[in-house]
Amino acid sequence: HQNAPSDLLQHLAEADEDDEHLKSICRNQAADAAVLQSLSARKPGDFEREMVGNPNVSADMLQAIYRSGDAYLRAAAAGHANCPLVLMQEAMADQDVLVQRQLAKDARMPAEALKRLAADADTAVRAAVAANPAMPAELQATLARDEAVAVRRALAARTDLAVRLMEQMSTDKDDWVRQWLGRNPALPQSLMRQLADDKVDDVRRAVARNPQCPLALLRHLANDRSDWVRAAVAYQPNADGALMRELAADTDIDVLSGVAANANTAVSLMMKLVRHEEADVRRGVILNPQATRLILLPLLEDPYYLHRLMLVGQPQLTAEDKWRLHDDPDYRVRFSVFSWFARTFAPAKTEAGPKK
């Protein structure tokens, strides 16, 4: 248990004979370094695989695990937040690719080490460097020309990517490179407009999902031939009420679901969509943070149990509204109602205890 006191865990680490119990102690984040050290001293090498994932494992223990473990354990030890610099330097000379992959994605790695790893023969190592926030900017140009698409994809998502490289990658032959670029919030609007006319639907959808996509471009994408692209526009926080009214005339369910869930959708539209025949559309209204009590009330009698279940947690509805579901035909809804009332109206505990 995450609230188990350390003295109890210490006692179990010293006295319990059940290996499954001891493994649970190793995985328990309530176990501090002293508990783990005690257990390691008692049964050296038996539970390293469990200990290496505990955030409280000490630097000394990580060094011991690294030097005695297999490639998986060495990689986990080298990537641990408590891994000391001396051990990371030792791991740089490790020949196993698993260790190198772990180091390549670690933001604590020095620039010179990342430069070396950027030229590694393993694609996953180079891709990890491309995504590493500590990657030196001078490596961008080299990685943008990498023959492996996984490397270019990782690079295309970087918000610090140079504009000239964004221009280069906007015509990359790999669709996913252009998709990641289209989602990149640092992408200049000129390149957004270019990718908004890409021949691949998913690339245009990526632009429609970009958090920096301007309203004018969203209006353009709202008329896209692909339902999937128009649906992305419908879910966009940057889309205004006028665009929501336009998309509300769409016949695609995904588009209408996005309109129903969008906080910029007018109340009059939500009142209409809450009675839509498709469950996905009605669910969108429940998920809309701007949906009022009056809008949600009809859904208390929704034929889909999940919608009634979701309403129990909606703050817009009153306790009286939610009590209407206490005898719901579905046991899951009834359970949710009584759980909500128990949490909401349970007597507050006091330090002084009950009054005499």
Please compute the mean of the pLDDT values over residues 247-252 and round it to a whole number: 97
Helices (H), 43-84: 48-51, 59-68, 71-78
Instruction: Identify the residue whose tokens are 């670029």.
Output: 181
- Using the predicted structure, report yes or no on whether residue 355 has a pLDDT greater than 90: no
- Using the predicted structure, report yes or no on whether residue 315 has a pLDDT greater than 90: yes
- Using the predicted structure, report yes or no on whether residue 343 has a pLDDT greater than 70: yes
Please compute the mean of the pLDDT values over residues 229-253 and round it to a whole number: 97
Lowest mean pLDDT among 16-20, 140-144, 158-162, 285-289: 16-20
Query: 59-68 and 33-42 are packed helices; what angle lies between their axes, rounded to 10 degrees?
Result: 40
- Using the predicted structure, report yes or no on whether residue 350 has a pLDDT greater than 60: no
d(CA 321, CA 252): 32
Q: Which of residues 148 and 351 earns the better pLDDT score?
A: 148
* pLDDT at site 69: 78
Please compute the mean of the pLDDT values over residues 149-174 and round it to a whole number: 97
* pLDDT at site 356: 44
CB 257 within 8 A of CB 231: yes
* pLDDT at site 68: 87
* pLDDT at site 352: 52
Collapsing DSSP states into helix, strand and coil, what is residue 200? coil
Task: Please provide the average confidence, as pLDDT, over all residues in the chain.
Answer: 94
**Token pair for 271:** 């009142």
Q: Which pLDDT tens digit goes with each residue over 53-98?
A: 999 999 999 999 999 879 999 999 999 999 999 999 999 999 999 9
Q: Which helix (H) or strand (E) holds 191?
A: helix 189-195
Give the predicted TM-score (pTM) of the model: 0.85
Q: Which helix (H) or strand (E) holds 150?
A: helix 149-156
Residues in the chain: 356
Q: Which pLDDT tens digit goes with each residue over 252-299?
A: 999 999 999 999 999 999 999 999 999 999 999 999 999 999 999 999
Alpha-carbon dihedral 112, 113, 115, 121, rounded to 10 degrees:
160
* pLDDT at site 347: 81
* pLDDT at site 281: 98
Q: Which pLDDT tens digit goes with each residue over 200-216?
A: 999 999 999 999 999 99
Q: Which helix (H) or strand (E) holds 242?
A: helix 241-247
**For the chain, percent of residues with pLDDT exceeding 70:** 98
* pLDDT at site 351: 53
Q: Calculate ∠ Cα 230-233-235, nearest 5°.
A: 115
d(CA 268, CA 307): 21
- Using the predicted structure, report yes or no on whether residue 348 has a pLDDT greater than 80: no
Q: How confident is the model at residue 236 (pLDDT cuts 50, 70, 90)?
A: very high
Q: Which pLDDT tens digit goes with each residue over 23-61?
A: 999 999 999 999 999 999 998 888 999 999 999 999 999
**Token pair for 128:** 């990890």
- Using the predicted structure, report yes or no on whether residue 353 has a pLDDT greater than 60: no
